[in-house]
């Protein structure tokens, strides 16, 4: 898992840098698609690796408490991006570059060197060699930045944001390497794997595992609910700040809103374990959907950018509860050897299918009815779905998702 995580992290980072290189629509579609494809497993693999370390009864609440640091970092980064966009706004009068500039980047250009070095880093397992490769990548990135600053034009706000992301990714990469076991531990692990090789093959058969999950009605309903929540998220996350813009919001306002969202979610990640145990996963899912209803209506009826503060605070609170409890439940119902697969499935239902479909539906509604009515209609749909979910839960003789 660690090697796969390193490869996807580095290659998706390189593709993210490529996104900022050109404003041609076709180029952006291709690079964003490749970036999303490579970045999709990163979060799930990190969650799986972390939860595999939490084996004792005392550790069962630690996942949410670890996850809160990511929430705080998200808020700080979003606030920083908002400030950069306000200080260095994009030139609205500049014309998109011609399609000819979206051709593949030659390997002798600075960004081409970054790509080659990134692939080299991802393929290395030796720490010393990787450190050398990373230093080369940093030097190439500096040369690339100097090339832009010296030969063409000052960087725009969003380009500064991409470069800041690249710089912050360097220590993140070495933190990921900390999950790789030491050589002595690796030898012990290999011996254990050999002893259980036959049993492991039987336990980790993907098709058998999927058949087991398909027979679990709670698991099927759970993944469908994750899909619905992801659809709501795709609609609201893509058009909430469009709505903020419509009422006069700026990049600085958006950064503050994101910061409030992250700060509100931090304590919920810390207490998510005890709260989920007290309320139950079924109640957490119902509350998550009701939170989307409230947020949709809040955005629809807002008149000032900071009227969105309650919706943003609610986002942080409910997402922390939903993601922490959902990840733990998906990990719990996973067949042996399929922990990462179940987390990837959850992430795909939420961030892949759900958010993608939500963005498409939201775009169609926003084009035809406007942003405010899109949120009203989405809130009504979620409210009706909550009613159906509550009816399903009331018909059960026991608690769902336990």
pTM of the shown model: 0.66
Q: List the Cα angle 152/155/156 in 5-degree steps.
A: 125
Residue position matching structure tokens 């010296």: 150
Residue position matching structure tokens 């503050």: 256
Structure tokens given for 300: 């629809």
Query: How much is the pLDDT for 32?
Result: 83
> Which backbone phi and psi does 325 adopt, to 5 degrees?
-70, -40
**3-state SS string over 129-164?**
HHHHHHHHHHHHHHHHHHHHHHHCCCCCHHHHHHHH
Q: Please identify every stretch of the chain with a pLDDT value under 50, giving residue numbers as ranges.
A: 92-107, 109-111, 114-115, 122, 125, 127-128, 130, 148-149, 151, 196-203
Residue position matching structure tokens 């979206």: 102
Task: Tell me how far apart the alpha carbons of residues 157 and 88 are, in angstroms, rounded to a whole number.
Answer: 4
Task: Tell me how far apart the alpha carbons of residues 50 and 340 are, in angstroms, rounded to a whole number.
Answer: 11
94 by Cβ neighbours in 10 Å (0-12 / 13-18 / 19+) ranks as: exposed
Tell me which residue of 220, 202, 11 sits closest to 123, measured CA to CA.
11
Q: What is the dihedral of CA 355, 357, 358, 364, to 10 degrees?
A: 150
Do residues 376 and 362 touch, judged by C-beta distance below 8 A? Answer: no
Q: Provide the 3-class DSSP secondary structure of residue 86.
A: helix
Do residues 257 and 307 touch, judged by C-beta distance below 8 A? Answer: no
Q: List the Cα angle 222/234/157 in 5-degree steps.
A: 140
Count of H-run helices and E-run strands, the chain: 16, 0
């Amino acid at each position: 898992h660690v090697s796969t995580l390193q490869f996807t992290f580095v290659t998706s980072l390189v593709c993210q840098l490529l996104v900022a290189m050109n404003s041609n629509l076709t180029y952006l579609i291709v690079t964003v698609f490749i970036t999303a494809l490579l970045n999709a497993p990163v979060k799930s693999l990190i969650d799986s690796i972390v939860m595999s370390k939490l084996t004792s009864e005392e550790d069962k609440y630690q996942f949410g408490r670890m996850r809160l640091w990511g929430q705080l970092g998200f808020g700080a980064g979003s606030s920083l991006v908002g400030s950069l966009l306000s200080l260095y706004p994009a030139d609205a009068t500049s014309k998109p570059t011609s399609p000819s500039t979206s051709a593949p980047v030659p390997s002798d250009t600075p960004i081409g060197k970054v790509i080659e070095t990134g692939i080299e880093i991802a393929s290395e397992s030796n720490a010393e060699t990787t450190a050398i490769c990373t230093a080369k990548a940093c030097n190439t990135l500096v040369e690339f930045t100097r090339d832009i600053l010296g030969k063409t034009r000052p960087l725009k706000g969003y380009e500064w944001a991409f470069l800041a992301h690249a710089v912050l990714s360097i220590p993140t990469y070495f933190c990921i390497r900390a999950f790789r076991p030491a050589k002595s531990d690796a030898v012990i692990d290999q011996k254990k794997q050999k002893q259980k090789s036959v049993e492991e093959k039987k336990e980790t058969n993907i098709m058998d595992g999927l058949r087991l999950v398909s027979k679990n009605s709670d698991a099927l309903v759970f993944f469908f609910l994750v899909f619905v929540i992801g659809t709501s998220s795709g609609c609201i996350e893509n058009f909430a700040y469009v709505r903020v813009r419509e009422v006069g919001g700026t990049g600085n306002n958006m950064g503050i809103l994101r910061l409030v969202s992250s700060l509100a979610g931090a304590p919920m990640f810390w207490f998510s374990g005890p709260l989920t145990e007290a309320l139950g996963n079924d109640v957490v899912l119902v509350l998550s959907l009701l939170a989307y209803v409230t947020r949709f209506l809040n955005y629809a009826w807002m008149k000032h950018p900071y009227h969105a503060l309650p919706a943003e605070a609610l986002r942080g609170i409910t997402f922390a509860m939903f993601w922490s409890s959902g990840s733990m439940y998906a990990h719990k119902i996973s067949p042996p050897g399929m922990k990462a697969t179940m987390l990837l499935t959850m992430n795909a239902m939420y961030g892949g299918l759900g958010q993608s479909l939500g963005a498409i539906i939201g775009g169609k509604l926003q084009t035809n009815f406007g942003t405010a009515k899109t949120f009203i209609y989405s809130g009504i749909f979620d409210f009706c779905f909550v009613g159906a979910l509550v009816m399903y839960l009331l018909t059960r003789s026991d608690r769902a998702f336990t």
